[in-house]
Structure 1
């Protein structure tokens, strides 16, 4: 899932020496979000790229921060436009709680609690290094 999840998926493919990079896909959920009418489109929309057959496949969705579950729901909805997977699993770098939908990750690197008004953002430097920033929203 763009953008942080896509960066993590690329790193997982490299770290695990997976040779079939054609099985790596990228999803931009902008048009599938349930808050699309409220928030409108972001300026950094990227094309969804799924070059493999989704029908019958086991899909591992990768996201940077799991929060309300709405991004995951949107990604699942988009996947079904490409076919009917046999199984969908979710990996997240950070689970920050606060679910609004009954969605949980199968794989999580860390679970944290943020204060009200705080959010997390994953950044990628020019050299590919990833870092997390906590934002204090007003």
Structure 2
């Protein structure tokens, strides 16, 4: 059972983190020419859309935003009891030769990102893939490192980071929950 331990980001802190990441993306890529922002289902999509809006406010340039469903690329499918529900991938442009900024809410073991990389490579050959995450909580099992981080949050393995976004959860906040059953 999960028990809320503490709130680490509120709505304003999430907004500030995304604004900072947007500026870092612009700086690192010298603008957003040939960039595509791709969010990993579910909350990564909303973060990607927010980043694209922030970049548009700063640079007056629209960046294509896509959605990536990594369900079939997960390495834990055989451990799931029920059949996976496919929600679909929708990337509005060809990613070949583009700079893809992959967006997710929480980076933990790296397995979700690995699955996302496999899914992207199956769609084309990007010039480069960069990773933006709202929260990096450590405990990596694969050699994956984000290019852009909203907040680093060292956690124990009994803690669970919960990113709540208004598009899904009707509130914007990030909390740490303690898993009392472990």
TM-score by length of 1: 0.88
Deviation at 1:41, TM superposition (A): 5.5
Taking a change above 3 Å as real, the CA distance of residues 47 and 69 of structure 1, as seen in their structure-2 partners, is same
Query: Does structure 2 retain, via aligned residues, the 8 Å contact 1:32–1:78?
Result: yes
C-alpha displacement of 1:66? 0.5
Match of 1:60 in 2: 101
Number of aligned positions between the proteins? 137
Mapped contact 1:30–1:42 kept (Cα < 8 A): no
1:82-93 matches, within 5 Å, as: 82-93=123-134
What is the RMSD computed on CA atoms of the aligned residues?
Answer: 2.1
Are 2:45 and 1:6 equivalent residues in the alignment? yes
Alpha-carbon offset, residue 40 of structure 1: 4.8
- The Cα shift of 1:19 comes to 4.3
CA distance in 2, matches of 1:117, 1:109: 22
1:136 shift after superposition: 2.2
Distance change in 2, residues 1:24/1:131 (3 Å): same
| 1:132 corresponding residue in structure 2 | 174
Q: Aligned partners of 1:15, 1:41: CA distance in 2, in Å?
A: 38
Contact 2:71 2:84 in 1 (8 A): no
- Report deviation, 1:20: 3.1
Q: Give yes or no for the alignment of 1:71 onto 2:101.
A: no
In 1: Cα distance, 2:91 partner to 2:148 partner: 22
Question: How much has 1:128 moved relative to structure 2?
Answer: 6.4
Structure of larger gyration radius: 2
Q: Distance in 2 between matches of 1:124 and 1:117?
A: 23
Instruction: Give the superposition deviation at 1:14.
Output: 1.2
Kindly provide the CA deviation profile for residues 56-98 of structure 1, in whole angstroms up to 9, marking residues without a partner as x.
Answer: 1110001110011100000010011111111000001110000
Query: TM-score of the superposition, structure 2-length normalised?
Result: 0.68
Contact 1:90–1:107 (Cα < 8 Å) also in 2 = yes
Contact 1:30 1:41 (8 Å CA) reproduced: no
CA–CA separation in structure 2 for the residues paired with 1:54 and 1:40: 34
- Structure with more helix by fraction: 2
